[in-house]
Amino acid sequence: MRVSTAQFYHQSSLNMMNKSSDVNEQTAYISSGKRVLTAKDDAVSFGSLSGYKDGMNRIEQYNRNITQSKNHNALTETSFSLVQETLLQAKQRFIQANNSALTDDDRLSIAEQMKQYLTQVLDIANTKDETGGYIFSGYQIETQPFAIQADNSVIYQGDNGVNQLAISNNILVDNNQSGDRAFEKINNTIGDFSPSYNTNVGGATVSRALIADRGAYDIATFPPGYTLDFTDADNNGQLEVVITDSTAGGVTTIDPFVPGQAFSFNGVEVTIDGTPTVGDQFVLNEDDEVSIFETLKAAIDWLEVGGSAANTSQHEVDYGHILSQLNESASHISAQQGKAGINLQLIESQESRHLDSNLSLEQGRSSIEDLDFYKATTRLEQSEVALQAAQLTFTKVQGLSLLNYIR
C-alpha cells in the first residue's frame, strides 16, 4: 500500500502529538501528586472525592467556629473567675465592717474599698475580646455594656442577645453571655419583692415575700407596691397588719400578726421575723431580681451611714439582707462560670470528634486521589521513550529519498 508524503506527515504529526500529550499528562500527575485530576481520569472516584472533600470543608468551617467559641468561652470563664475573687474580697471586708469596735471612719475606709471592688467588677463586665468587641453586651458588641452613674448606680446599655455558632451538623454552642443575664438577673433572696423599712423603730425584718399563687395575684385590682402598717386597734398589745396597695386602696388586714408565721394576701405570701412595734411600716415593691451592682452599692451605702443610722436594729436588718444578697451574687456568678465551663467541655469534645472524622475522611481521600509515584514515574519514562522514538523515526524517514536509496 502506497503512503503519500502528505499522509505520512499527517500521521507522524498526530502520533507525536499524542505521545507528547501522554508525557504532559504524566508530568501533571506527578506535579500535583494526584491520581485523579478530572472526571475523565476516573468518573466514579472523582464523584467519591467530591464527597470526601465536602466533608473535610465542613469540618474546617466547624473548626474555625470552634476556635472562636473556645476563645470567647475561655475569656468568659476567666472573667467570671475574677468577679468571684472580687466578690469574696468584698464579702470579707463587709463582714469585718459589722464589728462594734470599728469607728465610722473605719467603715468609711472600708466603703472606699467597696467602691474599688465595684469598679473592678464593672471593668470585668466591660471586657473586650481580641477583636475589640464587648463580650457582655449581647448583639451590641460595639456598645459598652455597663456605665456607672454619679450615685454609684450602674446601668446596662447592651441587649439580651446570645450569639450561637455551629460546631457540628446538629450542635450549636453559645458564643457569649449577655450582660443582663450575667450581672443583673440575680435572684432576690427575699423572693419577688424588695422591702423598704422607712424609719421603723422595731427590729422586725421581712425574711420572705413571694408570689405564691400566680392565679390569685391580681395586680389590676391591687397594684404593687404594698404598704404594711403595724397597728394595735384594740389596744390589747396584739398587733395586726393593715395592707394597702400602691393606690392606697385597702387590700386586707392580718389579725393577729404572729412573728415568723407566714401570712397571705392577693396571692402574695409574706414572712416577717423579729418584733415590730406600733407605727412600724414596710413597703414591698415588686423586684424579683437584684443586680450585682445594686448589691455592692447597697453595701457602700450601708457603710457610709455608719453609726448615724436612725435605727440601729433596722441597720442590722439591712446588713443581713445585703450579706445574703452578696452570697446570692457569688452563687449566681459561679453558675454562669459553670455554663462557660460546660460550653468549653462540649467544644473540646466536639473538636476531638472532628479530628477523628477528618482523619477518616483524609484516609478515604488519600486512597482514591493520592498518586503512586513509583508507577507514575515509570509511566512517564515509558511515555518519554515512546515520544523520543516517534520523533527519531520521523526524522529518519523524512530524510529518505529514491536517490539516497540508490546510493
Q: How far is CA 25 from the centre of its chain?
A: 53
Residue 384 placed within a domain = no
The answer to whether residues 203 and 279 belong to one domain is: yes
Residue 315's pLDDT is what?
77
Question: Domain span at residue 114?
Answer: 54-187+323-356
The answer to whether residues 261 and 329 belong to one domain is: no
Task: Give the residue from 244, 263, 288 where a domain finishes.
Answer: 288
**Grid coordinates in use for 161?**
442577645
Q: What are the two backbone dihedrals, phi and then psi, of residue 3, each rounded to the nearest 5 degrees? A: -115, 120
| Residue carrying the nine cell digits 462557660 | 340
User: How far is residue 307 from each of residues 203, 223, 294, 298, measured CA to CA in Å?
Assistant: 16, 36, 22, 16
- Average pLDDT of 247-268? 93
The answer to whether residues 180 and 64 belong to one domain is: yes
Q: pLDDT (tens digit, 9 = 90+) per residue, 373-382?
A: 546 566 655 6
Answering whether pTM is above 0.85, one says: no
Q: Report the distance separating Cα 202 and Cα 197, nearest Å.
A: 10
For the cut 80, the answer to whether the pLDDT of residue 389 exceeds it is no
Task: Check if the beta carbon of residue 159 is closer than 8 Å to that of residue 145.
Answer: no
The answer to whether residues 183 and 207 belong to one domain is: no
- Average pLDDT of 145-172? 93
Q: What are the two backbone dihedrals, phi and then psi, of residue 259, each rounded to the nearest 5 degrees? A: -55, 135
CATH code, 142: 1.20.1330.10
Query: How many other CB atoms are there within 10 angstroms of residue 340's CB atom?
Result: 23
The full length of the chain comes to 407
Q: What is the number of structural domains in the chain?
A: 2
The answer to whether residues 70 and 163 belong to one domain is: yes
The answer to whether residues 91 and 199 belong to one domain is: no
Residue 400 placed within a domain = no
Residue 214's pLDDT is what?
94
The answer to whether residues 101 and 174 belong to one domain is: yes
The answer to whether residues 183 and 199 belong to one domain is: no
The answer to whether residues 64 and 164 belong to one domain is: yes
Nearby residues of 83 by Cβ (< 8 Å), 6 or more positions away = 121, 124, 125, 292, 333
**Grid coordinates in use for 149?**
452613674
Residue 340 placed within a domain = yes
C-beta pairs of 317-324 under 8 Å, 24+ apart in sequence: 317/197, 317/203, 317/204, 317/205, 317/274, 318/197, 319/98, 320/205, 321/189, 321/190, 321/205, 322/94, 322/295, 322/298, 323/91, 323/94, 323/95, 324/189
The answer to whether residues 108 and 255 belong to one domain is: no
Query: How many other CB atoms are there within 10 angstroms of residue 118's CB atom?
Result: 22
Residue 6 placed within a domain = no
The answer to whether residues 238 and 122 belong to one domain is: no
Residue 37 placed within a domain = no
For the cut 80, the answer to whether the pLDDT of residue 52 exceeds it is no
Residue 253 placed within a domain = yes
Residue 136's pLDDT is what?
97
The answer to whether residues 171 and 214 belong to one domain is: no
| Residue carrying the nine cell digits 523515526 | 393
**CA Rg, the chain, in Å?**
41
The larger pLDDT score, comparing residue 205 to residue 308, is at: 205
Q: pLDDT (tens digit, 9 = 90+) per residue, 289-337?
A: 999 999 999 999 999 987 655 556 777 878 989 999 999 999 999 999 9
For the cut 50, the answer to whether the pLDDT of residue 392 exceeds it is yes
- Average pLDDT of 90-116? 93
Residue 315 placed within a domain = no
The SS3 assignment for 352 reads: helix
Question: In what side-by-side order are the strands of the sheet with 263-265?
Answer: 205-211, 268-273, 263-265
Residue 359's pLDDT is what?
74
